[in-house]
Chains A and B, each alone.
Chain A
Amino acid sequence: MMESVIDVVLSGLILGGLYALIAVGLSLQYGVGRVLNVSHGEFIMLAALATFSLYTVAGIHPLLAVAVVAPLLFVIGFALDRTIFNDLRRTSIDQDHFEGRSLLVSFGLLFVIQNVMLSFWGAGLRGYSILNTPVTILGHRYGLNRVIALVVAVTASVAFYLFIRHTRLGKAIRAAAERPDMAEALGVNRRRVLAICFGLGAGLAGLAGALYSMMFDIQASRGIELTVIAIVVVVVGGLGSITGSLIGGFLLGLVIALVNFIEPSLSLVAFYLIFVLVLLIRPSGILGRQIHAD
């Protein structure tokens, strides 16, 4: 019995680490830039495909490929925000208006990126099996690649938290997000800061994609699945909170692990049920900022 509990908890944390890793980029983009980027999953897939190609063509190990893929996605994200989303910010009436419009725009981007992926890589199945070696924790075995994903997720979140709290750029980011008018008055270049954030979110998607590629088969059309996971995690953890998405990821992971233990066929139902319930009961999520709930 104890063994089962340990297994469920560990499986949950590891699965949660994967969820958090997928979500952290989106959490940043929404948390600071207020863009609910539904093409986030496409970014992850793009990174996965690029990592795959780097490996099969140039023999570059995925963990090293991160150094190429993540910055590349950062640049793309930065450019997109600096142009399109900035435009939307300037021409939107209020926050809600902007959020709705940016949602729709990112939806268009979803189609665009997916088509680009299909054009360059085709739709076929591809994958590899890397870092699959078992790691034994408390007597149970888990995949090394998944454990790495967990470690990376936690590290990224913690690093980001410290970055936001203690560095100048981090403070500028917070200012730009929370008090835009004051921030501008104090000399913060809001546009650039927001674009950097969006780019960082994309870069984190790149990181997630490279790690993801080691665990699953890679297909251009599966980005949407990942976006859904990211959104659910971000909502559960709290829209607007980076550490929230880490905790949200773990919580979801634990619940799903529990469901997998009892009745695996219900795991997908449970996933959406939690999502819906959180939105009903506590839309701000676990660590989210209080929102107008009326």
Chain B
Amino acid sequence: MLISTILREEKPALVAIPVSIVALAFAPSVVPESIGISLITVLMFAILALSWTMFSGPTGFVSLATAGLFGVGVYVSAILRDFLPIEVLILIGGAVASLLALAIGMLTLRLKGVYFILFTFGVASLIRSSVAWWETNVNGTVGRHVSGASNEVIYLLLLIIFAVALVGGFLLRHSSPGLALQAIGENQEAAEHIGVNITKLKVLTFAASSALMGMTGAVMATRFRYVDPSIAFNPLFSFLPVVMAILGGLSRLYGPLIGVTILVVLQEFLIREYPYVYLLIFGLTLVAVVLWLPGGLVELTQRLYIRLKIQWIKMRMRITRFRRIRQADRR
């Protein structure tokens, strides 16, 4: 059922996904080094935005816990870096993050709307301040140096995680659990009535998306080279992916990716040319999108696409009519 649906409805995606992954794999050797370095940032946010959307997109439960889950991965890497190879660290980071997410998920079963959002924010803050306390009072130190990894390695690892996120997100959307998630998003009670196991679905999806965040954190620790609680659990890691995903649009898989690309590129541009107004532009963009383009850029492109299609059809009709008139004239 799943595969035939995909083959029928999503032909463009079936091509686009592998192509984009391959393109990204070769990109660093083709583009100027400076852009290659920025691509790491792009990939990081792309994974965070995609994994956030995996859960919060269809269900409508906006999670602000991303920073907590990402930061946990960062710390796993920071603590164990000298003892284990990076691949293992990634897996551990992902595992710890998803366990944490399971716990959070089990606790938030009854919360919805604003309360859920606030709870996830509170949990992320609690994690941050607890780690800070632990490091200070139990470990007697605060910052941790993390041996770096080469940019090539970091990029490759992120690309793999990105591929998993992309493919996973795609499969999820078109599977029954994915549809069930959307059902939850539209009307949780009704979904329950038709037999959806809400608890299991929400918690597992949340945990899976968090695993990706944790894995990303484990990799990024080697890029940060020095971590402390305010770096690893920076609230911006919670907020920015949300902004990017919403800007891009949640109804399609590529939506968050558009949002990520635009905002990262925008930031790169602004911090160089107009460093003093980059916050302003971010803020205005968010306000504008929520007010006038709630479906994000995806909605915009879809509307444009429809309009173009209509124009095309009209033109064809005119041509057909014109031809008929000419034919009639000749007789």
Contact = CB atoms under 8 A, between A and B. Distances in A.
**Chain A directly contacts chain B within the complex, with at least one CB pair under 8 Å:** yes
A269 B135 CA distance: 13
Interface stretch (B31-39, B121-129, B167-175): B121-129
A291 B287 CA distance: 28
Interface residues of A, number: 46
Contact of B286 (A105, A265, A293): A105
B276 A231 contact: no
A277 B272 CA distance: 43
B203 to A, nearest CB: 15
Contact of A276 (B117, B123, B246, B294): B123
Interface residues of B, number: 42
SS of B interface (majority): helix
Contacts of A109: 283, 287
B239 A107 contact: yes
A204 B28 CA distance: 53
Contacts of B137: 265
B107 A280 contact: yes
Interface string A78-114: 0000001001100000011001110111011111111
Contacts, number: 118
A100 B60 contact: yes
Contacts of A112: 279-280, 283-284, 287
A113 to B, nearest CB: 8
A36 B112 CA distance: 15
A279 interface: yes
B312 interface: no
B84 interface: no
Interface string B76-117: 000000000000000000000000000000010011111101
B118 interface: yes
Contact of B114 (A100, A113, A280, A294): A100
Given A105-B291, A115-B277, A279 B114 contact: no
Interface string B181-204: 000000001000000000000000
A263 to B, nearest CB: 9
B125 A272 contact: yes
B259 to A, nearest CB: 13
Nearest to B189: A294
Given A111-B280, A118-B276, A276-B119, A104 B246 contact: yes
B65 to A, nearest CB: 11
B9 to A, nearest CB: 27
Interface of B: 60, 62, 107, 110-115, 117-119, 122-123, 125-126, 129-130, 132-133, 136-137, 189, 235, 239, 242-243, 246, 276-280, 282-287, 290-291, 294
Interface of A: 36, 84, 87-88, 95-96, 99-101, 103-105, 107-116, 118-119, 224, 228, 231-232, 235, 239, 265-266, 268-269, 271-273, 275-276, 279-280, 283, 291-294
A-B CB proximity, top 4 nearest: A111-B283, A108-B286, A112-B283, A115-B280
Given A103-B117, A112-B287, A276-B126, 16 more contacts: A88-B290, A100-B60, A103-B62, A104-B290, A105-B290, A107-B283, A107-B286, A108-B285, A112-B279, A113-B283, A115-B276, A115-B280, A118-B279, A224-B235, A275-B125, A280-B107
23 contacts: A96-B112, A100-B60, A101-B294, A103-B114, A103-B117, A107-B283, A109-B287, A111-B283, A112-B283, A112-B287, A114-B283, A115-B279, A119-B276, A228-B125, A265-B136, A272-B129, A275-B122, A275-B126, A276-B119, A276-B126, A279-B118, A294-B110, A294-B189
